[in-house]
Structure 1
Amino acid sequence: MIPVYDRRKLYLDDKAAIDAAVARVLASGRYDWGDEVPAFEGELAAWLGAGHFVATGSGTAALKAAFRALRIGPGAEVITVANTDMANSTAIHSVGARVVWVDIDPLTRCMDPAACAAAITPRTAAILPVDMYGQPCDIRAFSKLADRHGLALIEDACLALGAEIEGQRLGRFADITCFSFSSGKHLGAMGNAGGCATQDAEVARRLRLVSGDGQDRARHRMQPRPLALHHEEESQNDRMDEIQAAVLRAKLPSLDRTLAQRRAQAARYSQALAGLVQVPAEQPGLRHAWRNYVIETPEREALARHLTAAGVQCNALYSPPMHLQPVYAGLGVTRGQLPKTEASADRLLGLPIGPHLQMADIDGVTAAMCRWKRTD
């Protein structure tokens, strides 16, 4: 079997460093409000080239914190896409705002700036583009739209850690950029974790408050620690825990190497599969992070059956898109209203990619696909 993910192998590859990191936290006795989370925040901010990074308990928690930190609430509308995880819609609804889905650019599968512009109303408070599968969206176009209309810009880069625009890593182009460190991501925790990058010190302060029970983190580090509680804002406990932060610190030095592996594997796929299926492509000035390698074909179901029989795992992430999921039927967005999103979702298929694989595995996948085409 050539798997889409192999978390056990990734753990074994970094076992000594991960085990040492976990042991360090356990021995310290400080499982929250310790040293690991702020250390990870500083190290990742430096890697991103961002002014500030605030760690959270998941990518969903990062999105929720972003809306709360920017004071987006009831009555507001947030423009986003439907070909993504439920977390976007969940986060929008969690603050009492309304989700407004718009169509995508079929080439990048990211939000179409023209469709976004057409959806702006007096109730619009924020734009939430998603960097699909590791492909950066046209964040500069959305930044211009946000500035023109006085809107917040929150970038969902949960699939795009390490992606670049003109040589600069994502994390500095939006008001807040949200990341996920769940176990299958570029930098994977041993469970759930996430966080937000921002250039604004005040926004970073509010992100820490709204994800940390409304408390100033510095109070937990005072010696002696104050006896009185001091909650500045009603909030939730959406903080990253110390063990996850320590694990991520242990794995961070390998991130550049794993990104290089993903990029090399994607190039191998694209060279071998050109003309066989529709392959994804990097756009000029943008550098893909390749969290997923997603092809499109009108024969998706037949190809998926063939690959499974050949021992190749595959998936169809975010298909059907959110507006066609039963949970959102009451919002009244029906098939035909987002035609480009729907066409892509009906055709897409994700192939195995990542540092758990060798180049021979990539060649095995492409060989299986070539056999399918010959017998088609």
Structure 2
Amino acid sequence: MKIALYDHAKLYREHREEIDIAIARVLESGQFIWGQEVPAFEKEFANWVGARHAVSVGSGTAALTTALRALGIGPGDEVITVANTDLAGSAAIRAAGASVVWVDIDPETRCIDTAACEAAITPRTRALLPVDLYGHPADVIEMRRIADRHGLALVEDACIALGAEIDGRRVGSLADVTCFSFAPGKHLGAYGAAGACTTQDAALAERIRKLMSDGQARVRRYGPKSNVVGQHHEMEGYNQQMDEMQAAILRAKLPHLDETLAVRRAQADRYTERLAGLADLPAEKTGYRHAWRNYVIELDRRDALAAHLFTQGIGCNGLYSPPLHLQPVYSGLGYVLGSLPRTERSGSRLLGLPLGPHLSLHQIDMVAEEVRAGLS
């Protein structure tokens, strides 16, 4: 590819010295789990987001699953979410033993339609799970009101929206739990799987911490520097903690996150300028600040344009298309073509273009030129 969706090697080279120092620090410590890097990262990340508590976990999927379990979601419960997203959210709901209820989207933001969400609430509903799609926040303010009116938990999937804002406030403190992913292609990327949950509730943070560490409190972990003999399982948990190496790498990269977001926003602005009138372009609602994990356009000739871009050595994708309710894995849940018309229309027309700090504005211009050529 002349212009790839990702170039992790290039990004490593740009910050090689800091990352190598972080990796060496962990190797020399001899502590690859339950060391000092994870709690240090949790504190630094919570401060950056503006949340009181952050708990690191092994992936974004683990963040979603652990958040639901910590909130007591289980068999017989329903959780309302959207289908135009990664499998992780719906899989997490089902892993907790609950049922998935998908509702349609707001066509402007492609995030959850709050009116449709409230209309879908039943006596079995226990939680709402909005997704901040492609980096644009869902209307978490209204979702918070809906959740409070009906006595429901609110879990925000911000796995691809780190750094997004609502009314000047970064996502991460409005929901009961906000879930983030640090997969390599995310805004803040680890060199493997990693994630985090943020919350304002200390007790909830502690439940999440125990659930992701075999049901044990951190201070009870045994090891070379611990005076605790034996184990103390307070609940049935899982081995889903972040390892020390990923935490150290994330700590090295976190100081550059604001710069990364600025680059993404500048690139998105350039696309919007260059592609005006060629396709339906992503919007940024008043009062919201997009984090631009993806720049996703919509057009009827999506497949033809994708084929043209590929022949020109330009990466593109149809992220989260077709939507989950039309995927084979969920064919038995009763949803069919036509169940979620706005979701389906978006899914059939969307195309993600290259974006990120591995690219220059000149390369963004090149992509825009080929989009224009492919549609001419």
Check if 1:362 corresponds to 2:356: no
Partner of 1:279: 281
CA–CA distance in structure 2, aligned partners of residues 298 and 371 of structure 1: 16
Match of 1:310 in 2: 312
Residue 342 of structure 2 aligns with which residue? Answer: 340
Residue 14 (structure 1) aligns with? 15
- Paired with 1:363 and 1:120, the residues of 2 have a C-alpha distance of 45
Structure 1 runs, 4 residues or longer, greater than 6 Å off: none
CA–CA distance in structure 2, aligned partners of residues 71 and 209 of structure 1? 14
* 2:24 alignment counterpart: 23
TM-score normalised according to structure 2 size: 0.98
1:261 and 1:355 in contact (8 A); partners too: yes
Secondary structure at 2:221 match in 1: helix
> Structure 1 residues 341 and 228 mapped into 2: Cα distance closer, same or farther (>3 Å)?
same
Q: Per-residue CA shift, 1:68-114, capped at 9, x if unaligned?
A: 11111110000000000000111001110000000000110000001
**1:336-359: CA deviation from partner (whole Å, max 9, x where unpaired):** 000000000000000000000001
Q: Kindly tell me: are residues 34 and 338 of structure 1, through their superposed partners in 2, closer, same or farther at Cα, counting changes over 3 Å?
A: same
Would you say 1:253 and 2:255 are equivalent positions? Answer: yes
| Contact preservation (8 Å) 2:222, 2:231 | no
CA contact (8 A) 1:315 1:351 kept: yes
Say whether residues 1:138 and 2:139 are aligned partners. Answer: yes
Q: Deviations over 1:317-346 (max 9, x none)?
A: 000000000010011111100000000000
Residue number in structure 2 paired with 1:151? 152
User: Closer, same or farther in 2 for the Cα pair 1:24/1:323, shift >3 Å?
Assistant: same
* CA offset digits 1:101-141 (Å, max 9, x no partner): 00000110000001101100000000000000000000011
What code does the residue aligned with 2:334 have? Answer: G
- 8 Å contact from structure 2 (residues 164, 170) kept in 1: yes
SS of the counterpart of 1:79?
A: strand
Distance in 2, Cα, partners of 1:69 & 1:95: 10
1:225 to 213, 218, 227: 227
The separation in 2 between residues aligned to 1:24 and 1:318, in whole angstroms, is 38
8 Å CA contact 1:303, 1:369 repeated in 2: yes
Q: Which amino acid aligns with 1:259?
A: L
User: In the alignment, which residue of structure 1 is the partner of 2:198?
Assistant: 197
CA deviation after TM superposition for structure 1 residue 224, in Å: 4.3
Task: Give the partner amino acid of 2:365.
Answer: D
1:51-90 aligned within 5 A: 51-90=52-91
Cα distance in structure 2, aligned partners of 1:297 and 1:153: 33
Report the AA paired with residue 177 of structure 1: T
Cα separation, 2, equivalents of 1:184 and 1:70: 29
Q: Deviations over 1:142-186 (max 9, x none)?
A: 100000000000000001000001111000100000000000000
1:47 maps onto 2:48 in alignment: yes
Aligned-residue identity in percent: 61
Q: Distance in 2 between matches of 1:233 and 1:220?
A: 14
Partner residue in 2 for 1:327: 329
CA distance in 1, matches of 2:280, 2:316: 16
- Rate the CA distance shift 1:118–1:165 in 2: closer, same or farther, 3 A: same
DSSP 3-state at the match of 1:11 = helix
CA shift for structure 1 position 309: 1.2
How big is the shift at 1:228?
2.2
- The 5 A counterparts of 1:111-122 are 111-122=112-123
Paired with 1:116 and 1:41, the residues of 2 have a C-alpha distance of 32
Q: Partners of 2:113 and 2:160 in 1: how far apart? A: 18
Equivalent AA in structure 1 for residue 268 of structure 2: A
Task: Confirm whether residue 37 of structure 1 aligns to residue 38 of structure 2.
Answer: yes
Q: CA deviation digits over 1:167-207, x for unaligned, max 9?
A: 11000100000000000000000011001000010110111
- Alignment equivalent of 1:237, drawn from 225, 228, 239: 239
- Aligned residue-pair number: 374
8 A Cα contact 2:182 2:188, kept in partner: yes
Return 5+ residue gaps in structure 2 as ranges. none
User: CA offset at residue 225 of structure 1?
Assistant: 2.2
Post-superposition shift, 1:221? Answer: 7.6
- Corresponding letter in the other structure for 1:231: H
Per-residue deviation, residues 230-260 of structure 1 (Å, max 9, x unmatched): 0100010110000000000000011000000
Structure-1 separation of matches of 2:50 and 2:248: 21
CA distance in 1, matches of 2:137, 2:75: 29
| Inter-partner Cα distance in structure 1 for 2:187 and 2:227 | 37
- Give the TM-score normalised by structure 1: 0.98
Give the aligned partner of residue 373 of structure 2.
Answer: 371
SS in 1 for 2:284: coil
The one-letter amino acid paired with 2:130 is P
Change (3 A) 1:224 1:251: closer
- Rounded to whole Å, the distance in 2 between the matches of 1:293 and 1:373 is 18
Q: Residue 121 of structure 1 aligns to which amino acid in structure 2?
A: T
Does the CA contact (< 8 Å) of 2:221 and 2:231 recur in 1?
no
Contact 1:33 1:221 in 2 (8 A): no
| CA spacing shift, 1:21–1:345, aligned 2, 3 Å | same
